[in-house]
Amino acid sequence: MSPGGLGHLKSPAPGRTRSVSDSSAPRTEPMAKTSTPAFGKNGKSAGQQGSPWETLVVFAINLKQLTVQMNMSNVMGNNTWTTSGLKSQGRLSVGSNRDREISMSVGLGRSKLDSKGGVVGGNIDVNTLEMVAHISEHPNQQPGHKIQITMGSTEARVDYMGSSILMGVFSNADLQLQDEWKVNLCTVDSSLSEKSEIFVHGDLQWDIFQVIISRSTTPDLIKIGMKLQEFFTQQFDTSKRALSTWGPGPYLPPKTPVSAEKGATELCKGHRGAHHSLHWI
């Protein structure tokens, strides 16, 4: 073979390479478009996003009797809480198009809290308590919330330093609450100048409502509140100190709170004249 013949054989190679590359470029582009599926933001394909779904949860609770006994040192002494006849049932429905329906009912036969042997004492007795609630929320519709509470009879007595400072009776009470929304749902972008109104309609009825107080009821209630706050603060502080021994971090105690008796005395002196009308209406 002569050198001229070799040059003749090699000359068509660049032309064939250009023709193959030019012809293959447009053929690979439509294959990439047809083979790749379209995914949404949540990682699902467009066909899976359009399928609607709905979830329904139904629950029921039945408690015959529950008794809790605890000792709260010399602040409230021995406490006994007894609850009987507790029943509850409800349903929760949620849909893919933001539909929401919640219905729940709670019934209580009797609940009594008795405290004796401490600085603060007394008892609270609740009989026949019923509650019904309903929540309805649908797109392009005004939401609705309803609640109704019915109470048979409630008796309460509060003691401080061995003497009764407050006694009350509340019987055959019925409370109904319902909201009303007036919001423009046609426009998506609502401006601040657009008028929107929300009303809450309430109806309260009762048969007997009696309260007996004394001259020292208001300052004694303030002292009771400060004593309970100091007691629970100390209990939480002790619990945190005990739990911190299990963890790696050091425990930093809070600042020393003001004494309950001193704070109550100063509060009563400061509010005796200026805020006297806030306690006696």
Q: Residue 48: pLDDT above 70? A: no
Name the CA dihedral angle for 254, 259, 264, 269, rounded to a multiple of 10 degrees. Answer: -110
Is residue 18 domain-resident?
no
SS3 content of the chain, % helix, strand, coil (to 5): 30, 45, 25
Q: What is the pLDDT of residue 9?
A: 45
Number of domains in the chain: 1
Which carries the bigger pLDDT value, residue 13 or residue 197?
197
Global pTM?
A: 0.61
Boundaries of domain holding 92: 54-181+197-236
**134-168: pLDDT as tens digits:** 999 888 888 899 999 999 999 999 999 989 999 99
Asked whether residue 46 is assigned to any structural domain, the reply reads no
Q: Judge whether 150 lies within some domain.
A: yes
Q: Which amino acid is at 272?
A: R
Contact 125, 115 (CB under 8 A): no
Q: Determine contact, residues 197/182, Cβ cutoff 8 Å.
A: yes
- Per-residue confidence at 184, pLDDT binned at 50, 70, 90? confident
Query: Does residue 154 belong to any structural domain of this protein?
Result: yes
Closest CA to 264 of 217, 221, 218, 223: 223
Collapsed DSSP state (helix, strand, coil) of residue 139: coil
**pLDDT tens digit sequence for 223-235:** 999 999 999 999 8
**Any domain includes 177:** yes
Is residue 238 very low, low, confident or very high in pLDDT (cuts 50, 70, 90)? Answer: confident
Identify the H or E element spanning 151: strand 144-160
Q: Is 243 domain-assigned? A: no
Any domain includes 256 = no
Closest alpha carbon to 89 in 101, 110, 104, 102: 104
The answer to whether residue 135 is domain-embedded is: yes
The whole-number pLDDT of residue 90 equals 95
Per-residue pLDDT at 148: 96
